[in-house]
Amino acid sequence: FSEVLQTKRLALRRTRPATLCLQLMTLSIFSRCDKFAARRKEGNMNYQRVVPDTGRYLSRIGISEPVTVDIMGLNRLIQAHLTHVPFEALDVWGKGTVPSLDIGDLYQKIVRDNRGGYCFELNSLFCALLKDLGFEAYLVIASLLDEAGEPAPPAHSAIICCLDGQKYFVDVGFGGPVP
């Protein structure tokens, strides 16, 4: 996977009514996990928790037991999020407003108001949760490709999560993890 990431593009096939490809614009993501690992080893991880209440967020997605910071824990979190939080773009398409991407506002909407969101909202809040739980994760921008392989402008958000030197593509606003 990291060899593919170093090419700065990744196309993943999805089976949907209209087959789409997801092209990941990585820029320099292949080195980010190495930087996270080095900072963690040196004890330079000065991360401030940003999710107002991780316990309530975990409860919202149906998790009541501790989560391990490994691939099993990551998959458990993704599965729980995908089954409890819907994809919805009601604010964007229904109201014509641009939703806030502030973590506090996203927490209010998705956790307290028991709503869903679109890719930027869902992945931004989920990435903050992953970091708060101890995962090394960061957001990336991606674009959808049509069946002919023509890319649209980058307009999709996803997450890269680094575990044991392996990079995982995480997307709770479109799909799941990829080894």
Catalytic residue (one of 21, 119, 161, 162) = 119
Average pLDDT for residues 40-49, to the nearest whole number? 57
- Rg of the Cα trace of the chain? 16
Which residue in 80, 70, 98 sits closest to 165, CA to CA?
Answer: 70
pLDDT at 172: 94
Query: Does 164 participate in catalysis according to the annotation?
Result: no
Give the predicted TM-score (pTM) of the model: 0.74
Query: Does 33 participate in catalysis according to the annotation?
Result: no
Give the model confidence (pLDDT) of 73-84 as tens digits.
999 999 999 999
pLDDT confidence band for 49 (50 / 70 / 90): confident
Q: What is the dihedral sign for C-alpha 24, 30, 36, 39?
A: negative
Question: Are 25 and 142 in contact, with CB atoms under 8 Å apart?
Answer: yes
In total, the chain counts a number of residues equal to: 179
Query: Does 119 participate in catalysis according to the annotation?
Result: yes
